[in-house]
Chains A and B, each alone.
Chain A
Amino acid sequence: QKEVEQNSGPLSVPEGAIASLNCTYSDRGSQSFFWYRQYSGKSPELIMSIYSNGDKEDGRFTAQLNKASQYISLLIRDSKLSDSATYRCAMNRNTGKLIFGQGTTLQVKP
């Protein structure tokens, strides 16, 4: 079992819709979780961090963490064409290293 499982997609949503991206993880000791966005040919960009159970909202983005069920999700409301990218979840087990998911490709279509 991989430490972080993430559907590679592609996930296709129409412009203006809600995009929902999900990850599950195996290590209950993980304490902090992140979402990175990577445009084609560019470097990963941190867009959300979440440390406690529940929701964290930042503009059109909402990160959700459920430690009991060991999953995290990212909701993107009012999806825009510019949201088309690969989104990776990552978790920190306090080892000094992040464990990354394989990434989900999101395609927002007009």
Chain B
Amino acid sequence: NAGVTQTPKFQVLKTGQSMTLQCAQDMNHNSMYWYRQDPGMGLRLIYYSASEGTTDKGEVPNGYNVSRLNKREFSLRLESAAPSQTSVYFCASSEGSGRRNEQFFGPGTRLTVL
């Protein structure tokens, strides 16, 4: 089991460029999440998908879009990258409903926007 995988691991963009961050999980989880973490800071939720076919905004959704492609995959798109989006992006997944909701994180994508 690979758990949660993310691609790419590193990316450098110029202001205004677009890109998609990919995330996949092999734990048959219902829910998936995208977080960003700025240097020395905590985790901020960008978007999440409680189940296949649904997506909802988190704390900091502006400048991002998401697609829940199927139960395994959840992508994050930056349409026009800005330097303020320089961050480390983590994808996570969980069973979703109910009491437990233990989230498991991928290795992260380190994004720099020049």
Interface of B, secondary structure class, is loop
Tell whether A43 pairs with B107 under 8 Å between CB atoms, given A96-B48, A96-B50, A100-B42.
yes
Tell whether A96 pairs with B99 under 8 Å between CB atoms, given A43-B107, A44-B43.
no
Inter-chain CA distance A19–B55, complex, in Å, is 39
Provide the residues of chain A in CB contact with B102, threshold 8 Å: 34, 46, 49
B43 adjacent to A43 (CB under 8 Å): no
Q: Give the size category of A's interface with B.
A: 20 to 34
A101 adjacent to B108 (CB under 8 Å): no
- Find B96's partner among A34, A96, A101, A102 (CB 8 Å cutoff): A96
Proximity string of chain B (90-105) to chain A, C-beta cutoff 8 Å, 1 when within and 0 when not: 1000001111111111
B90 adjacent to A88 (CB under 8 Å): no
A44 adjacent to B90 (CB under 8 Å): yes
Inter-chain CA distance A90–B101, complex, in Å, is 11
